[in-house]
Amino acid sequence: MHIFTNRIRQFIESVLMLSLLAMVLLTFADVIGRLFFNIPIYGAHDLTEHLMAVIVFSGLPLLTSARGHLAVDLFDRFIMTGAMRWWRYLTNGLICVILLLVSYQFFIAAMDAIEIQEVSQALLIPRSYMYALISFSCFVSACASVLPKQVSQDVHPEETL
């Protein structure tokens, strides 16, 4: 199972890197085209918008599985004790429920986008695919939020939940 999750993580990381590279190259070419040739790349805004969604929502499951979300450590001395383990489980459960709710809402949005054939402004890219990606990403993140923390090489085992 560990090998399977590592392969999935590596695949998602590759998708993230390629998406970021594509967005940087597209933005660079668009700026150069505007500045020197007064010819912007048609649809660059649409492509950048979709690539940004891919980057953010593909990274969400990785961030959730590593417990990398923003956290305030003001009460960690109290909360990280064994007696407060129930609080950490409750928090992870709440995160799971919220992510499932977001996933459900974007699933509905994807179905609506298919029904009304919603597309992007310039390139007419169907929006339903992005909504489905967001829904799937939030669902996977919800599952990852209730699993044990993924231990990486730079994290000590005593720091895991």
Helix 85-116 with 128-146: angle, nearest 10 deg: 170
Q: How far apart are CA 122 and CA 44, in angstroms?
A: 9
Q: Are 4 and 16 in contact (CB under 8 A)?
A: no
Coil/strand/helix, residue 119: strand
Look up residue 84 and give its two tokens: 């407060």
Q: What is the reported pLDDT for 157?
A: 46
For the stretch 68-122, pLDDT in tens is 887 778 878 888 888 888 888 898 899 999 999 999 999 999 999 999 999 999 9
What are the residue ranges of helices labelled H in the chain? Answer: 2-37, 44-65, 76-79, 85-116, 128-146
Q: What percent of the chain has pLDDT over 90?
A: 64
Residue with tokens 């594509």: 22
Residue 150 pLDDT level (bands cut at 50, 70, 90): low
Q: How many CB atoms lie within 10 A of CB 110?
A: 22
Q: What ranges do the domains of the chain cover?
A: 2-159
Look up residue 124 and give its two tokens: 């007419």
Residues 94, 97, 100, 106: is their CA dihedral positive or negative?
negative
For the stretch 3-26, pLDDT in tens is 887 888 899 999 999 999 999 999
Q: What is the pTM of this model?
A: 0.81
Look up residue 13 and give its two tokens: 């990381």
Q: Which of 70, 71, 56 is CA-nearest to residue 138?
A: 56
Q: How far apart are CA 50 and CA 44, in angstroms?
A: 10
